[in-house]
Amino acid sequence: MRIKHDFHLHTHLSVCAKREVTAADYVANARRLGLKKLGFSDHFWDSAIEGANKFYQPQDYEHILQLKPELEQLRCDDIQFFFGCETEYDPFHHGVAITEAVAEQLDFLLVPNSHTHMMMPKDCYEPYRKHADFMLQALYEILNSPVSKYITAIAHPFEAVACPYPNGLLIDLITDDEFRLVLDVMAEKGVAFEINVSSMQKKTHDEIEKMSQIRLFRLAKEQGCRFLFGSDSHSAGSHDAYGNASFVADLLALTEDDLAPIARG
Ligand SMILES: [Zn+2]
Ligand SMILES: [Zn+2]
């Protein structure tokens, strides 16, 4: 199945993205790649929730709202835009760093359980099992939070960001049964599983098939999770390997019904 959506795009409003990358760049890429739906997901922490670190402090709602006029100006018939954000797991309140008031303003919402480089105490890096357990617990807390009904997808599930060792090792440590239990909750709550292709950018198809993530994707499908694809682009050039999204969709034999409702059509 050809994947014609990308619901994980960072613009210049994300402080870790390239200063010059705009929504217009992604529209140009989308035309080239045949994408019909673009979801903008700049990093976000709700200022009404205490605990934002230095990275998140400037990235509040007022800040990400600056994208709206940019999207208005770009309005086009061939590509649909969705205004959302990638918010954060909030370990301090065992929930998510967004209020219902803001969540209901968005077209879609991504929440990661794997920004462990920012949200996890450093002493959890080793033994590796502690790191894996942190992500499992984070996911349960995200799914049990009062805003769970607004969550469209879990961003890059269990793919620990900026991990000092290969993050696939953490996925390998979690058993099928442990994954099944939490994936069941995702399926039941209608929270989709993001297939984030940023980790596949420089890989061949053979190498992708051998990634630890593939076992997890297959389990997610078996448990009835829906999927959402994202490039996690932080610059205009990071879209170039987006064909990997369609490769993985075929590898998993996904059909339209397996996609999150927002991504269909
Ligand atoms: Zn992320
Ligand atoms: Zn991201």
196 alpha carbon – ligand 1 mean position (Å)? 9
Quote the CA–CA distance of 255 and 164 in Å, as a whole number: 36
Q: Does 3 have pLDDT greater than 90?
A: yes
Q: Does 238 have pLDDT greater than 90?
A: no
99 alpha carbon – ligand 2 mean position (Å)? 19
Closest ligand, as measured to the CA of 155:
1
- Nearest CA among 149, 216, 239, 214 for reference residue 188: 149
Which band of pLDDT confidence, cut at 50, 70 and 90, is reported for residue 75?
Answer: confident
Domains of the chain and any CATH numbers = 5-263 (3.20.20.140)
Quote the CA–CA distance of 228 and 6 in Å, as a whole number: 8
**pTM over cut 0.85:** yes
Task: Give the orientation angle of helix 213-222 with respect to helix 243-251, to 10 degrees.
Answer: 60
| Sign, CA torsion 5/7/8/9 | positive
Strands 89-90 and 95-96: antiparallel
10 Å Cβ neighbour count for 141?
18
Q: Residue 265 has what pLDDT?
A: 86
Closest ligand, as measured to the CA of 117:
1
Q: Residue 217 has what pLDDT?
A: 98
Closest ligand, as measured to the CA of 8:
2
